[in-house]
Structure 1
Amino acid sequence: MTQYLLSIYQPDGPVPEPEALAKIMGELQVVNEEMQAAGVWVFAAGLHPPETATVVKAARGEVLVTDGPFTEGKEHLGGFTVIEAEDLDAALHWARKMAAVLEPLPIEVRPFQG
């Protein structure tokens, strides 16, 4: 079995209204429970907004620490789920379920090395 990272990318800007967000999070919890029941769910987490990030980068023997996200962009990593699946097709099955709940947010599926 291979572990896969299902990354949730969301646009920068305001989050949905509380009522809409509660509905989305409730539906996402149902998918998480399905993954747990199927034995593929390993771990999931949401992240604070990108402005809470701190970046540490080494260059030419110096280490620079800066506030804010690594890159400026129109979207950011908002959360992720780690699953353990037989193959990419099985991982994509769960990513499709997440994408249906989180429409129109993209879900990136990547296998872990090793």
Structure 2
Amino acid sequence: MMLICGVENEEMPADDFAKLQADTEEWIKEMDGRGVRLFGNRLHPTDTATTVRTRGGETLLSDGPFAETKEQILGFDLIDCADLEEALEIASRHPCAGIGAIEVRPLWEG
């Protein structure tokens, strides 16, 4: 799983944002063509999140994200790779790696 992280609501010039979108669409097309990208999408802003906790049999709901951090998870891509090396190569080519961070984490098997 690739978690795409960045600073939410960070101002970006319109031309830069359009280039980022075009570059991301090109990355998606390439990874879909390689057959390694299974699914992915952007996420709504953190102010739309609800955090759910269950303690002592009681469900507790909180508006907003689980943690206050400088960077947020902005989106994700589920990829199917031969090994970690291929996953890291794919993540390094994602356009958002140049302005934020891509966290690569394996899924539990089973």
Tell me if both proteins adopt one fold, taking TM over 0.5 as the criterion.
yes
Which of the residues 34, 42, 45 maps onto 1:46?
A: 42
Residue 108 in 1 paired to residue 103 in 2? yes
Structure 1 unmatched ranges of 5 or more:
none
Identify, as 1 or 2, the structure richer in strand. 1
1:88 and 1:70 map into 2 onto residues whose CA distance is 28
Kindly indicate whether the alpha-carbon contact (under 8 Å) linking 2:52 and 2:61 is maintained by their aligned counterparts in 1.
Answer: yes
Q: Deviations along 1:26-57, whole A, 9 cap, x unmatched?
A: 10111111111111110010011111101111
Indicate the residue corresponding to 1:73 in structure 2: 69
- Find the counterpart in structure 2 of residue 96 from structure 1: 92
Aligned length: 108
Distance 2:57 2:41 in 1: 34
Runs of 4+ in 1 over 4 A off after TM superposition: none
Paired-residue identity, %:
35
Aligned partner of 2:57 in structure 1 is: 61
Q: Does 1:86 align with 2:66?
A: no
SS in 1 for 2:99: coil
Instruction: State the superposition RMSD in angstroms.
Output: 1.2
Instruction: Give the TM-score normalised by the residue count of structure 2.
Output: 0.91
Query: SS where residue 55 of structure 1 aligns?
Result: strand
Give runs of aligned pairs for residues 5-44 of structure 1, distance below 5 A.
5-44=1-40
User: Runs of 5+ in structure 2 lacking a partner?
Assistant: none
TM-score of the two chains, using structure 1 as the length reference = 0.88
